[in-house]
Structure 1
Amino acid sequence: MVPHAARLFLGSCMPSQLNVLPTGEGEANFNYKLADCKFKKLMKGKRLIYKNDLTYRPQARKNPASFIYPIECVYKRPESWNPQFLNPGSGVSEGRGELVVHMELLNEQLTGVAKTNVIPLGSFMPIWAAVEQKSHQPLLLLMEECVAATTPELHPDSQVYPIIANKGCLLESVKGNSMFLPRYHSSALILYLQSFKLGLGEEVYIHCKLVVWDPADLGETKKTCHYVKDSGSWELLDDPLQSSLCSCCDSTCKSRSKRGVKWESNSQSLSSVLGPLVIVEQNPSSGDSGVKD
């Protein structure tokens, strides 16, 4: 029970029903769809999260709210649900034969393509890569190698910053807090990359070698691995039970499987470039934690 219950707002919505007592106190009910009231939709792993604020404004709207209460609704992500950007219509990086690949920088909410290419130092750059399935049998997209450079083309004398090496090992997960996010499906991958100091304030380009492979034939040279600091070990993104395939990330990863010979001859390696990106120093007053060289 609150006085002036009609002055409660859920996002942009007024109460859909009011029960007011003679004293002026009352209850406010909100019965709306999640598509209403300006809910913010986010995705985290296998969860869909809808966020909003319940505000109490007993005075005119130009005055600040008396209180703000955060509202969060969490649901399991339906298997059939994918963000809109997973059906890309632009941003083609390269195509060979019938295969078309895409690589884009996503926004912080992972709901679409980023509207800015300026990234504060130490914050994250979600990089999405995908290969269009079309009529192909199920495809597994892997990031075999990725480096950052200050030029859109790599040259022998280019200054590069290694990100992924050794056939799919995310080096940046050892140095900082970078990781691979859970896949929506085998043909797409999100690299959650923490920004670094290379080319600070200048244009930076992410150069990646993408490989299309058989989802049923993972191996030491066909894998996606990141380092998990809590366990102090490397983990295989697509099947943690086979994380032993990542143990070579600390040495040299070599092919040992003969099952993939047929796929090896038919697989495709595609080079893709994302950029320009501009990494800038954060405002000192905002605080800076976990920034790495």
Structure 2
Amino acid sequence: MASFGCCGLLFWLVAFGLAAADIKLDCGPDYMTLVWSDSRSQADPSLFRLGSCFPTSFTLREAFFSVELDDCGFRRLVSGNELNYTNDLVYTSSPDSYVAPFILPVVCSYQRPKNWYPMIYDPVFSTYGVEDLVFNMELMNADFSGPAESPIFPLGSMIPIMASVAQVNHQPLLILLEECVATTKPDLQTDGDIYTIITNKGCLVDSKASRSKFEPRLMESEIRLSLQAFKFGLEQEVYIHCTMVAWDPNGLDNTKKACHFVKEHGWELLDNPAFSGLCDCCESTCKTRKARSPGAGKGLVKKAVIGPLTITDQAA
């Protein structure tokens, strides 16, 4: 990325209740370094993530990150004369740990360059808040490191989509895509034409006839979908409507899952292929079971839509 010269370089980091930790953040022109250290904490530094990035290095009491602002899924936001790059320092914890998971917002703030202008279109994304959960679904670039640079995709190319949930006060939650369809209208209408992508409580049915697939997870709170551009709505504005679910990572069953079809193998469970039997119902009906704790809390399901995007007749 281009380096941004700036008169004043600002940064801040909010550490919810973790004032005892020593956190150092240094924002460079196109990179940042972050050091978390605490001699008294029982936190495991290897379990920290900065967005999608693992620590550059760590010791028993310190996690160190040195990353470029084009990496790790940094989000860019222009506000007035400021250009902000934001991300989350996430501690995932382990099942037997006494240290609760937590999220620390990280921001590098720069003076907006005089010759910098927004992209020629608004990035296609939507953010939805539910109590203290924030769901997000957005079109991404090819390696999922940032928002898509264009909403136009040639037929047969891959459309990267990422859904995530931020969970400050909740136990760790797994994000799932329960249902997804494509339409040519921003509102999902029962009498309109639709193209089914995901159905049957998490079955990526589009993967049976295409190269569509779920990508390996980097963290439980986000899910990445590589969707092969389809003929439906060709050369028209297309909207993708999804139902997102935040769920107990240990509570997967045949109604709370992420399954895709692998050629020459069959249906495979994204989060643990050894339990791909949960996907067997993708060929029939995955029956809804009675809601149960902890995944059955109010507000853990959210509908979202991204678009418009355009699939062109120029084959990839």
When normalised by structure 2's length, the TM-score is 0.61
User: What whole-Å deviation, never above 9, does each CA across 1:188-207 have from its counterpart, x for those lacking one?
Assistant: 01110000011111100000
Q: Tell me, in whole angstroms, the C-alpha distance in 1 between the residues paired with 2:228 and 2:55.
A: 29
Among 244, 264, 268, which residue is 2:300 paired with?
Answer: 268
Aligned residue in 1 for 2:129: 95
Aligned residue in 1 for 2:245: 211
Contact persistence 2:131–2:299 (CA under 8 A): no
User: What whole-Å deviation, never above 9, does each CA across 1:248-282 have from its counterpart, x for those lacking one?
Assistant: 10001124688x34432446110000100000011
Aligned residue in 2 for 1:28: none
User: What whole-Å deviation, never above 9, does each CA across 1:126-170 have from its counterpart, x for those lacking one?
Assistant: 001111122221011100000000000111211110000000000
Uncovered stretches (5+) of structure 1, i.e. residues with no partner: 1-76, 289-293
> Could you say if the C-alpha distance between residues 184 and 262 of structure 1 is closer, same or farther in structure 2, counting changes exceeding 3 Å?
closer
SS of equivalent to 1:113: coil
Q: Tell me, in whole angstroms, the C-alpha distance in 2 between the residues paired with 1:193 and 1:145.
A: 14
Aligned residue in 2 for 1:281: 313
Aligned residue in 2 for 1:117: 151
Between Structure 1 and Structure 2, which shows a larger proportion of helix residues? Answer: 1
Contact persistence 2:73–2:145 (CA under 8 A): yes
Question: For residues 120-159 of structure 1, what are the structure 2 equivalents within 5 Å?
Answer: 120-159=154-193
Contact persistence 1:92–1:100 (CA under 8 A): no
Q: How many angstroms does 1:230 deviate by?
A: 3.2
Q: Identity of paired residues, percent?
A: 46
Q: Tell me, in whole angstroms, the C-alpha distance in 2 between the residues paired with 1:237 and 1:125.
A: 19
Q: Tell me, in whole angstroms, the C-alpha distance in 1 between the residues paired with 2:264 and 2:74.
A: 33
Aligned residue in 2 for 1:248: 281
SS of equivalent to 2:261: strand
AA matched with 1:202:
Q
Aligned residue in 1 for 2:255: 221
AA matched with 2:272:
D
Whether 1:235 aligns to 2:268 is yes
AA matched with 2:304:
S
> Could you say if the C-alpha distance between residues 159 and 256 of structure 1 is closer, same or farther in structure 2, counting changes exceeding 3 Å?
closer
Contact persistence 2:126–2:138 (CA under 8 A): no
SS of equivalent to 2:295: helix
Whether 1:176 aligns to 2:210 is yes
> Could you say if the C-alpha distance between residues 80 and 168 of structure 1 is closer, same or farther in structure 2, counting changes exceeding 3 Å?
farther
Among 71, 74, 92, which residue is 1:84 paired with?
Answer: 74
AA matched with 1:240:
P
> Could you say if the C-alpha distance between residues 262 and 276 of structure 1 is closer, same or farther in structure 2, counting changes exceeding 3 Å?
same
Aligned residue in 2 for 1:16: none
Q: How many residues align?
A: 207
Question: For residues 63-82 of structure 1, what are the structure 2 equivalents within 5 Å?
Answer: 79-80=54-55, 82=72
> Could you say if the C-alpha distance between residues 257 and 229 of structure 1 is closer, same or farther in structure 2, counting changes exceeding 3 Å?
farther
AA matched with 1:245:
L
Greater shift after overlay, 101-110 or 180-189?
Answer: 101-110
When normalised by structure 1's length, the TM-score is 0.65
